[in-house]
Homo-oligomer: A and B are copies of this chain.
Amino acid sequence: MLTQDFLRHRRREQLSEEELAALDAIMSPPVRIPKRTTIIRAGEPTDRSTFLLRGFMCRFLDAAVGHRQILSLETSGDFVDLHGYPMKRLDHDIATIGDCEVAYAQHDKLTALIERYPRLGRMLWFSTLVDAAMHREWIFRLGRLDAEGRIAHLICETFARLCAVGQVDDDTFEWPLTQQEIGEACSLTSVHVNRTLRTLREAGLVEIARQRVHVLERAKLARMAEFTPDYLYLGNHDRTP
């Protein structure tokens, strides 16, 4: 089933077989998108939303001169541009990071689905509210944490979300971000990201190398990042190790 991970880290309740099947029925066949591809641009009108089956994407805004600000990371099970459904256009771009696999849901079919299954509608609304909660925490991260804290916080969040979709193994997960991209997310230069990662490694907290993150001291990392997962509204039905 395509959508088995559907909003798994964005909901507190289980979906019924019937609901999942109905959802599956409106999705397009899977489509592959290569890494580093911008798939949606701010302002363009949209009539479908993109469900991420596999891989990493990001939402971002570019500043006038050069600098990019990444606004969120999207992982398997995210409806990356669901807000385009009520909003009809987006206010930011979206791009793949590594290679991705997606499926599309036409907006008119979503409307029909929600009418038939109002609970799904509420769940979709809920999932966009979790987005907003993650945005708020992102604001906190940039506004109140130093370089170490920001990177640690981003790793804690990613760890928690990937746990929920079963993509953390042995405290390790795939993370195809370059140091440049980590910097674009945390508002740091790649040079400073590099030095900060070294500090974290030397402190024995995390190791990041070759597209993989290995969390050694999860509790310490969370403490220095002032991270608590409440804002992710994860239920306890998830496959948290």
Contact = CB atoms under 8 A, between A and B. Distances in A.
A144 B70 CA distance: 10
A175 interface: no
A129 interface: yes
Given A63-B226, A142-B142, A143-B142, A136 B71 contact: yes
A143 B91 CA distance: 17
Interface residues of A, number: 37
A231 interface: yes
B136 A59 contact: yes
Interface in A63-85: 63-64, 67, 69, 71, 83
A140 interface: yes
A191 to B, nearest CB: 17
Interface in A198-241: 226, 230-231, 233
A71 B140 contact: yes
A155 to B, nearest CB: 18
Interface string A35-76: 000000011000000000000000101011001010100000
A87 interface: yes
B144 A69 contact: yes
